[in-house]
A and B are shown apart, each in its own frame.
Chain A
Amino acid sequence: KAGVTQTPRYLIKTRGQQVTLSCSPISGHRSVSWYQQTPGQGLQFLFEYFSETQRNKGNFPGRFSGRQFSNSRSEMNVSTLELGDSALYLCASSLMVGGLQETQYFGPGTRLLVL
């Protein structure tokens, strides 16, 4: 099975712009989660989607949003970019078994640099 794929892999934006990142989960996985990884804050949970609905959300401002499509692919959007948004954005997908989420499998990430 192909793993989690994320596009683009690298992105450079300037302050004030917006950006959209894409994630394709492992086939059959319907839960998709997003994380931000920075040297200072480590890995932080952004949000999780299942069946096109956001089920869980971390402590990030409203500039960070996401959505999930009927084929389980997910996008996350960051509006009005700030320098501090420079980070590696990771997507993870997982199966749901008996209503519970199984192990999350991570993609390679999108490295965003905000200038």
Chain B
Amino acid sequence: AQSVSQHNHHVILSEAASLELGCNYSYGGTVNLFWYVQYPGQHLQLLLKYFSGDPLVKGIKGFEAEFIKSKFSFNLRKPSVQWSDTAEYFCAVTPYSSASKIIFGSGTRLSIRP
């Protein structure tokens, strides 16, 4: 069965620290990949997505992610976090053949110390 693994459940960083959140998926075929963010009290928002092309994708608020097909990974990065990045981050995958069904990871809670 298809699945998405986010290895870190809770990450605590200080402001200006660099961030990398891991995401691995299990699916042998072509996939579309996403990172969504849920700020406290707000709804899910798209951070960035990968459909095809350059495996390094840039999203909003200085986030980027790299798709490494050989590792089935799509890690999220940000060189310098801010207090306002405190949120829950979800990695998600849709198999290309069934693109209406998003499979989400369990989420990573990011807490930033001011």
Q: Which of B24-38 contact A (CB under 8 A)?
A: 34, 36
A48: chain B residues within 8 A (beta carbon): 100-101
Among B44, B46, B106, chain A packs the most CB atoms within 10 A around the CB of B44
**For chains A and B in complex, what number of residue pairs have CB atoms within 8 angstroms?**
48
**Cβ 8 A contact of B45, one of A35, A45, A101, A106:** A106
Q: A66 contacts which chain B residues (CB < 8 A)? A: none
Q: Is the interface of A mostly helix, strand, loop or mixed?
A: strand
Give A43's nearest chain B residue, CB to CB: B104
- Within 8 Å of chain B (Cβ to Cβ): is A42? yes
Check B49–A45 contact: CB distance below 8 A.
no
Q: Which of B44, B103, B106, B107 contacts A45 (CB 8 A)?
A: B103
Chain A residue contacts of B49, Cβ below 8 A: 103
Contact A56 B101 (CB under 8 A): yes
- Min Cβ gap B11→A in Å is 17
Of A42, A56, A105, which one neighbours B98 at CB under 8 angstroms?
Answer: A56
- A26 cross-chain contacts in B, Cβ below 8 A: none
- The verdict on A101 contacting B99 (CB below 8 Å), with A106-B43, A109-B43 known, is yes
Interface members, chain A 92-108 (any B CB < 8 Å): 92, 94, 100-101, 103-108
Nearest CB in chain B: distance from A25 CB, A: 13
Contacting pair A50 B44 (CB below 8 A) = no
Q: Are A101 and B100 in contact (CB under 8 A)?
A: yes
Q: How far is the CB of A26 from chain B (nearest CB, A)?
A: 13
For the complex, is A63 an interface residue (Cβ under 8 Å from B)?
no
**A87 touches B (CB below 8 Å):** no
Give Cα A48 to B98, complex, Å: 11
> What are the residues of chain A within 8 A of B36 when measuring CB–CB?
106
Bound Cα distance from A58 to B45, whole angstroms: 22
| 18 CB < 8 A contacts A-B | A35-B104, A42-B104, A42-B106, A42-B107, A43-B90, A44-B104, A45-B102, A45-B103, A50-B100, A55-B100, A56-B98, A56-B100, A92-B44, A92-B102, A100-B99, A105-B46, A106-B45, A108-B43
